[in-house]
Amino acid sequence: MRDLSRRIREVSDTYGLPLAPERVVGDLSAGERQRVEIIRCLLGAPQLLIMDEPTSVLTPQEVEILFKTLRQLSSEGTAILYISHKLEEIRALCDTATILRGGKVVADCVPRDTSAKEMAELMVGKDLIVPERKTEDATTVVLQAKDLSVPAQSQFGVSLKELRFTVLQGEVLGIGGVAGNGQDELLAVLSGEISCPPNQLYYKDEDLHGTNITQRRAQGIQGAPEERLGHAAAPDMSLTENAMLTGAVRQGLAKRGMLNWRKARKFAEEVITTFDVRTPGPGNAARSLSGGNLQKFVIGREVLQKPELLIVNQPTWGVDAAAAASIRQALMDLAADGAAVIVISQDLDELMEISDRFAALNEGKLSAPRETEDLDVEQIGLLMGGAHGLPESDAPMADAEDADGSEDGDAESDAPEAETASAEEPGDAEADKPNAEVETSETEQVETDATDEAEAEAEAEAEAEAEAEAEAEAEEPSAGASSAQESAPPKIDIEEDAGEAATEGDTPDTAEPHSEAPAPSDSGEKSEEDAAQPEPEAAPKAKTPPAKPKPSKSIVINSDEDMILPPVTPAIGSGGISISSSPPPKKKPDSEGSDT
């Protein structure tokens, strides 16, 4: 299973079809289920690939990725049968096209040499009527969402997050988005299937909190969900019974608890006739209809009730070009008669054709609605991919970065932060130059600065001790004393942690109480022990007399900016003192100065 999950993720990433293998299929939208089918086919490295409407769940950018993949598969020898009602895609991708009507082949053509309108007319067998929009100024607010937020209704559902929009009387608001980004949840909360929080959703200035779907239908709010069989229509019920389900209130099909089946049958026949639903009659079960014909029945059932607010999700899913044009025209006519219409769709051409304004839904967040005439398909694709308000948000994002600055209070630029990251100490954000030098070689810096500091502090602070010690050892040869000091390391009493280092040249005010013992006593003991040992080869005389040893937790190097380096451990040997890195954590000394 792990290997299969890994392969699914690889294929979905390669072909631009995001899919989580652990999700339950029953919780997926219709578009996401189609995505599963596509990936399942691609997992088998097919020699013949048959695809039916594969781009209905993709943004324009993702369509380009898929087309690139299909062209690559074709060049590698894979035969591809591409079935689609999106004629521009046929023209862009396919080498040849076969036109079907009524289950029969009616024409063959070369898509690149045939217009989309010509192919559509071959499909329907008559001249194609292009929907016409009746433009009127809309001013009355019908529906208003104020930071509408609804939690996910299932483990893999999508939460709606602070949605803000208005729908005006006589307006068509188009909402686009890739499947699985909250479309089902949005329709459910607007239609009343899901309860909305208080003071977040208003219909004609009335708070819809606490109203259910039946009450909203009585107010004039109708909805047509995406899943037609099982959600919009009961599969085993007749078309007459399905007409009763949503039309009982507004069509007067029920009175005092009694159902008027004669009137319900008449209403079902009206839907079948008006929207050209191919079925023997209203007594047939919903499951007996093809997907396209059932879709026409569902949309017609809601449109003919003359709602004041209609919300539809994927209104032309799976219908032919002529039926799609008829449904779109019906939605625009409904808006022209004064209704507010919300169309949720993944078909961008459809949204561009019928919408007055457009907003994109991505991961439960809705972009600000914009006039459709000001957008192109590429901009819409970016909005569907999550680039909500990108042009407007560039400047605020930059301002926020400038205001935040660095973690240590330095907001001048990002470069110093990057250069000083290796220093690992707060307050060093401006010390770019010293940091760079320290990073190159900690050992060289420590040795150089330690020598300078030792000479300066030995002259200023340890002069008295050095003279007293020199007088006490004046009778011994200087070379012998020097050799003795180099051959045997001094005893150092350290009461700090085992990982802390002993250093030379500390100022008296920073030394710990236990290190105040006079140096001559230790030096004298060392001289007696060294006298019994054979004299080593001549070695360079020490620059300065040994100073009092003391524990050190860090080394401070004074430059233009104080820099705290990682602690070091002095290794004392016959040739002098060398400095090596030590793992204990850094800690700043209590007073100014530098440890070596």
* CATH code of the domain containing 222: 3.40.50.300
- State yes or no: pLDDT of 320 exceeds 70: yes
* Token representation of residue 364: 């439960």
- State yes or no: pLDDT of 206 exceeds 70: yes
Cα–Cα distances in Å, from 566 out to 462, 500, 569?
Answer: 26, 11, 10
Residues 107 and 189 grouped into a single domain: no
- State yes or no: pLDDT of 295 exceeds 70: yes
* Token representation of residue 447: 């040795």
- State yes or no: pLDDT of 127 exceeds 60: yes
Identity of the highest mean pLDDT range in 117-126, 271-280, 415-424, 555-564: 271-280
pLDDT at 412: 43
In a domain, 568, yes or no: yes
Identity of the highest mean pLDDT range in 181-185, 237-241, 455-459: 237-241
* Token representation of residue 40: 């399942």
Average pLDDT on 285-297 reads 92
- State yes or no: pLDDT of 491 exceeds 70: no
Residues 167 and 101 grouped into a single domain: no
Give the tens place of pLDDT for each residue, 242-258.
999 999 989 999 988 89
pLDDT at 69: 80
**Calpha distance 73→78 (Å, rounded):** 5
CATH number at residue 559: 3.40.50
Give the tens place of pLDDT for each residue, 82-112.
998 788 889 999 999 999 887 899 999 999 9
- Chain-centroid distance, C-alpha 14: 18
- Torsional sign, CA 324, 355, 309, 194: positive
In a domain, 512, yes or no: yes
In a domain, 424, yes or no: no
Residues 9 and 93 grouped into a single domain: yes
pLDDT at 38: 81
Is the CB of residue 22 less than 8 Å from the CB of residue 169? no
**Calpha distance 569→554 (Å, rounded):** 10
Residues 61 and 175 grouped into a single domain: no
Residues 48 and 156 grouped into a single domain: no
Residues 118 and 155 grouped into a single domain: no
Task: Output 31-39 pairs: Cβ under 8 A, ≥24 positions apart.
Answer: 31/56, 31/57, 31/178, 31/179, 31/180, 31/226, 31/346, 32/57, 32/179, 32/180, 34/179, 35/179, 39/8, 39/11, 39/12, 39/15
| Degrees to nearest 5, angle at CA 482 with 479 and 485 | 150
b vs e for 326-360, b when ≥16 Cβ sit within 10 Å of the residue's Cβ?
Answer: bbbbbbbebbbeebbbbbbbbbbebbbbbbbbbbb
pLDDT at 305: 95
In a domain, 465, yes or no: no
Is the CB of residue 592 less than 8 Å from the CB of residue 510? no
Is the CB of residue 7 less than 8 Å from the CB of residue 42? no
**Calpha distance 202→167 (Å, rounded):** 11
Average pLDDT on 518-527 reads 44
Q: Residue 133: pLDDT band by 50, 70, 90 thresholds?
A: low
pLDDT at 530: 47
The amino acid at 409: G
Stated pTM of the model: 0.57
Residues 119 and 151 grouped into a single domain: no
pLDDT at 441: 43
Residues 75 and 207 grouped into a single domain: no
In a domain, 545, yes or no: no
In a domain, 105, yes or no: yes
Q: Where are the alpha helices (DSSP H) in 385-441?
A: 390-404, 414-419, 432-440
Q: Residue 428: pLDDT band by 50, 70, 90 thresholds?
A: very low
- State yes or no: pLDDT of 322 exceeds 60: yes
Is the CB of residue 158 less than 8 Å from the CB of residue 152? yes
**Calpha distance 567→503 (Å, rounded):** 11
**Calpha distance 397→46 (Å, rounded):** 46
- State yes or no: pLDDT of 209 exceeds 70: yes
Average pLDDT on 223-227 reads 92
Helix-strand-coil split of the chain, %, nearest 5: 40, 20, 40
Single out the residue in 331, 355, 379 at which a domain terminates. 355
* Token representation of residue 313: 């999700």
Backbone angles phi, psi at 273, to 5 degrees: -70, -45
Q: Residue 232: pLDDT band by 50, 70, 90 thresholds?
A: very high
Residues 333 and 309 grouped into a single domain: yes
Q: Residue 451: pLDDT band by 50, 70, 90 thresholds?
A: low
Residues 210 and 300 grouped into a single domain: yes
Query: Which residues have CB under 8 Å from 497's CB, separation 6+?
Result: 584
pLDDT at 156: 79
Identity of the highest mean pLDDT range in 75-79, 265-269, 385-389, 562-566: 265-269
Backbone angles phi, psi at 102, to 5 degrees: 65, 30
Q: Residue 272: pLDDT band by 50, 70, 90 thresholds?
A: very high
Single out the residue in 335, 355, 375 at which a domain terminates. 355
Q: Residue 513: pLDDT band by 50, 70, 90 thresholds?
A: very low
pLDDT at 343: 96
For the beta carbon of residue 254, count every other beta carbon within 10 angstroms. 15
Q: Residue 142: pLDDT band by 50, 70, 90 thresholds?
A: very high
**Calpha distance 453→425 (Å, rounded):** 23
Q: What is the mean pLDDT of the chain?
A: 73
pLDDT at 486: 45
Q: Residue 59: pLDDT band by 50, 70, 90 thresholds?
A: low
In a domain, 178, yes or no: yes
In a domain, 82, yes or no: yes
Residues 147 and 181 grouped into a single domain: yes
Q: How many domains does the chain have?
A: 2
Residues 61 and 145 grouped into a single domain: no
Q: Residue 52: pLDDT band by 50, 70, 90 thresholds?
A: confident
Domain holding 511, by residue range, is 2-129+472-517+553-576
Least confident of 5-14, 74-83, 461-470: 461-470
pLDDT at 30: 64
Average pLDDT on 18-43 reads 80
- Torsional sign, CA 179, 214, 251, 279: positive
